[in-house]
Chain A
Amino acid sequence: MKELTKKAVKRPNLAVEIAGIQLRNPVMPASGTFGYGEEYAPFLDLEKIGAIVTKGLSLNPKAGNPTPRIAETVSGMLNAIGLQNVGIEAFIKYKMPFLRTVNTPVIANFFGNTLEEYGEVARRLNDIPEVAGAELNISCPNVKQGGIIFGTDPRAASEVVALVRKNLQKPLIVKLTPNVTDITVVARAVEEAGADAISCINTITGMSVDVHTRKPRIANRTGGLSGPAIRPIAVRMVHQVVQTVAVPVIGIGGIVRPMDALEFLIVGAKAVQVGTANFVDPTAMLSIIEGIEEFCIEEGIDDIHQLIGSLKL
């Protein structure tokens, strides 16, 4: 009898499209919290999530920052990993073979130390047919070069996006930093420069001090704050960006539970990324997807698009 009732309920359509990338549902990991996908394969079925977003890739391997690199704070964590990654060559050689076996779109997050490097990595990504799209990181707060420098100045952001747009023959998502006075200015700039989608927010710069040693708790002094602590800020910024641009927006920031993801969708994000929650619970994305589905069923929603941007003001 129970079986029958279950079958009788029509499952809602959760599939969305971001800049031409078809996602089976709107939930994907945030870059840097999911390695290259393989790390989490023992814990969750990678073919159940919307996409796999890789650790940020650069032209050459990058060692990252000195340690300690992470510190827990109230409902959040500070990190200054420093974009440690294997580099684009090793990614193609050692990480892609596994990713090819997974029937889920791969979004390659990438960055450069210089404008030229951004352009070069973008070009290299064209050579990997299985990479469905690229996410351009102009928002890492923890490295001296690249990253946030390009993300805080609308002119620099525009320049790097235009160059990457020219070199990249794949959908381009641009990931924005919250560490600006007005995120809509940068959002508009990257849209005009050719971004196909915008993801936001990256971490918020923060600092924590060990009162006994009187030293910063991470070696880089400051780090990026992530986790539930930043969620209201993220929801506000996603709301602002959605109001400003026409391209699809991917909401990121402190999503742990299904209702957190729903907040972002309701303010208008077409998809969401789950970051720190993967550390807390490696199966977090699956619970979030199930929870979104249950919510839709309860609310009589048969297509997720009825929920996206349904904010009542």
Chain B
Amino acid sequence: MKNYRTKIISNQEISPGYFRMKILAPGFGDKAHPGQFIMFRVQRSLPPLLRRPFGIFRTGFLPADCDGLPPKEFVEIVYKVVGSGTTIMAELHEGDRVELLGPLGNGFDCKSCQGEKILVGGGIGLVPLYMLAGELVANGCSVRLLMGGRTRDDIFAVTEFERLGVETYISTDDGSLGEEGLVTQVLSRKLQKFPGAQVFACGPMPMLRAVHDICVANKTPLQVSLEESMACGVGACLGCVVKGAGHTEKNPSYLCTCKVGPVFKSQYLDWSSLGQGDNDCGGCSG
């Protein structure tokens, strides 16, 4: 991990309210694991004061130009405009100077490769699943991705996921794309069909909670990627903690989302307390 003082390669709206930003980051791709994140400094001046955490969508490089220079390595994030920080981000252009810290945190454990893998992503929660899907496919796993959203605007990068060799299933609350209903209904069906599957999920807290309940009922191993408001991203401020399983008033257990997470095995978390706070927006420190 490192602090990059760098610049934007591109910043485009890919669906109403959703943007993807490519940022120049030499050497970043070699270090990044699926499920890790970056702390992004929106602009050099203040405000906004704090950096914003964003899941890594993918890393890659721009093929060498005829200028004789080596390929340009980048990190790509996808973000949803939800607050003051992301509003400023949406206005940024190619060449604008930005800073990012990363790759940070512990990502998905995707080493074990038995049985089916089912990925569940809700809206902006699809972001960390892209690199994960790529890695799982490369490991020879059979990967199914359940994409959920309120409307079709919340579903993005379908073709890119499919190009990885992932089977995709789409559901929206209003039926504007794919099946009408919740992504968790699709999950229940899939788990009946593939009882030995392993599940990976990222999305709004109510979705994660439902996914957790379904996985517990099916005795299915689940890893979830969480999002919390963060100040430092490196385990120093202790602002982003979540309660761990077995947390009590007397023997409290707080886990840093930035350092221990953002990906947790779901059995390590105290689900009775998750999402009780006001950070329950599934995608925004803004």
Measured CB to CB, the residues of A under 8 A from B are 32-35, 39-40, 42-43, 55, 63-64, 66-72, 74-77, 79, 81, 84, 210, 213, 215, 217, 219, 227-228, 256, 276, 278-283
Contact = CB atoms under 8 A, between A and B. Distances in A.
A33 B237 contact: yes
Given A63-B252, A72-B50, A217-B278, A33 B238 contact: no
Contacts of A72: 48-50, 229, 285-286
B3 A43 contact: yes
Contacts of A42: 1-2, 234
Nearest to B252: A63
Contact of B241 (A71, A74, A84, A217): A84
B279 A81 contact: no
Contacts of A283: 3
B143 interface: no
Contacts of A228: 46, 49
Chain B contact-residue range equals: 35 or more
A43 B237 CA distance: 16
B47 interface: yes
Contacts of B254: 63-64, 84
B242 interface: yes
Contact of A279 (B232, B241, B243): B232
Contacts of B236: 33-35, 39-40, 55, 278-279
A256 B3 CA distance: 17
Contacts of A70: 229-231, 237, 239-240
Contacts of A35: 234-236
Contacts of B41: 280-281
Contact of B278 (A74, A75, A77, A215): A215
Contact of B47 (A32, A74, A276, A279): A74
Nearest to B230: A70
B251 to A, nearest CB: 8
A81 B238 contact: yes
B51 A280 contact: yes
A68 B46 contact: no
B76 interface: no
Interface in B192-206: none
Contacts of A276: 49, 231
Contacts of A63: 252-254
A280 B252 CA distance: 29
B25 to A, nearest CB: 15
Contacts of B154: none
B237 A210 contact: no
A236 B75 CA distance: 44
16 contacts: A55-B238, A64-B238, A66-B277, A67-B228, A67-B240, A69-B238, A70-B237, A84-B238, A84-B241, A228-B46, A256-B46, A276-B49, A278-B236, A279-B51, A279-B237, A283-B3
- Most B CB within 10 A of own CB, among A35, A63, A66, A75: A63
Contact of A67 (B232, B242, B286): B242
B271 to A, nearest CB: 14
B37 to A, nearest CB: 15
B77 interface: no
B243 to A, nearest CB: 8
B104 to A, nearest CB: 10
B252 A77 contact: no
B244 to A, nearest CB: 10
A72 B234 CA distance: 17
B108 to A, nearest CB: 22
Interface in B242-268: 242-243, 252-254
Contacts of B240: 67, 69-70
- Most B CB within 10 A of own CB, among A34, A69, A228: A69
Interface in B43-58: 46-51
Contact of A278 (B232, B239, B243): B232
Contact of A77 (B1, B231, B233, B238): B231
A206 B2 CA distance: 33
Contacts of B147: none
A67 B231 CA distance: 13
B102 to A, nearest CB: 11
Contacts of B243: 67
Contacts of B237: 32-33, 70, 79, 81, 279
B238 A67 contact: no
Given A63-B253, A72-B49, A210 B278 contact: yes
Contacts of A39: 232, 234-236
B3 A281 contact: yes
A143 to B, nearest CB: 13
Contact of B99 (A40, A64, A68, A281): A281
B101 interface: yes
Contacts of B230: 70
A155 B10 CA distance: 60
A75 B47 CA distance: 6
B3 A280 contact: no
B107 to A, nearest CB: 17
B156 to A, nearest CB: 26
A226 B238 CA distance: 15
A84 B279 CA distance: 20
A64 B254 CA distance: 8
Q: Identify the 10 closest CB pairs spanning chains A and B, nearest first.
A: A63-B252, A70-B239, A35-B236, A279-B231, A39-B236, A279-B232, A68-B277, A69-B239, A84-B238, A39-B234
Interface string B267-286: 00000000001110000011
